[in-house]
């Protein structure tokens, strides 16, 4: 009997899974909604940068290649577009804007888009329950909690090792997202102090290409502003 194929997770998928706890029957977010949304928006932009579908010029994002129309319909109007396709089409259809502007716009569709992508991939499933005051409620859980905790374990391994084995671009960018969103302080356990974890994550980030370093820096600023506006410091 053949084994089921494990889907390849993209950057935003991994961040979504790492930003939720999977120990209970239903996953629970580890970040405030505004921070989670911004982190996922940054992860989606990171995906497009790593695919060379987005470029940066003086802090402004530009679509490197606008995807072609299919079936005679404009790209953003087709059913079944992935969330990255939607984001790329949004950016390609407007003048160049700073990263911070796109983070603010994309965050409104990022969480639902990434979650739906994980459901379509068979990583998450819907769980229907009832609210305590009545009415139906839809939540989500990981079909395989071990798989769902894989991105978190990967960050632990990358940061904890003095000579990490996995230093591919996506793994290091994920560690950067965990750092700048403050998710590193929400993860269950580290074998080192908080300052050392942060220091190692900053060191990893310094080796990223300039567009990804700039994206993480802008995301860190946006997260700080969101925390201030919400009264969390």
Task: Give the rounded distance of the alpha carbon of 94 from its chain centre.
Answer: 23
Closest CA to 212 of 175, 160, 166: 175
Question: What does the pLDDT read at residue 10?
Answer: 96
138, 155 contact by CB (below 8 A): no
Question: What does the pLDDT read at residue 150?
Answer: 93
Q: Given its phi and psi angles, is residue 20 left (phi above 0), alpha (psi -120 to 50 degrees) or beta? A: beta
State how beta strands 54-57 and 60-63 pair.
Answer: antiparallel
Question: What does the pLDDT read at residue 160?
Answer: 84
- pTM here is 0.87
Mean pLDDT by 10 residues, the chain (233 residues): 62 97 84 97 96 87 66 39 88 91 95 96 85 71 92 90 73 96 86 86 92 95 92 66
Question: What does the pLDDT read at residue 74?
Answer: 40
In the chain, the domains with their CATH numbers are: 11-230 (1.10.3630.10)
Please give the structure tokens belonging to residue 37. 């949304």
């Amino acid at each position: 009997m053949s084994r089921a194929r494990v889907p390849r997770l993209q950057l935003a998928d991994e961040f979504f899974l790492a930003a939720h706890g999977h120990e209970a029957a239903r996953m629970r977010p580890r970040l405030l909604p505004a921070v989670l949304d911004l982190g996922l928006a940054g992860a989606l932009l990171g995906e497009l940068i790593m695919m060379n579908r987005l470029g940066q010029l003086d802090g402004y994002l530009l679509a490197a290649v606008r995807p072609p129309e299919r079936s005679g319909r404009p790209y953003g109007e087709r059913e079944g577009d992935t969330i990255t396709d939607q984001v790329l089409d949004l950016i390609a259809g407007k003048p160049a804007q700073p990263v911070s502007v796109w983070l603010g716009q994309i965050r409104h569709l990022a969480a639902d888009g990434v979650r739906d992508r994980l459901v379509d991939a068979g990583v998450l499933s819907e769980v229907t329950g009832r609210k305590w005051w009545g009415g139906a409620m839809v939540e989500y859980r990981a079909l395989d909690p071990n798989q769902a905790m894989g991105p978190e374990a990967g960050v632990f391994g990358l940061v904890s090792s003095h000579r990490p084995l996995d230093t591919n671009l996506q793994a290091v960018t994920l560690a950067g997202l965990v750092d700048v969103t403050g998710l590193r302080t929400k993860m269950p356990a580290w074998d080192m102090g908080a300052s050392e974890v942060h220091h190692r994550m900053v060191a990893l980030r310094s080796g990223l290409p300039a567009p990804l370093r700039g994206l993480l820096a802008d995301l860190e600023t946006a997260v700080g502003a969101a925390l201030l506006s919400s009264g969390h410091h």
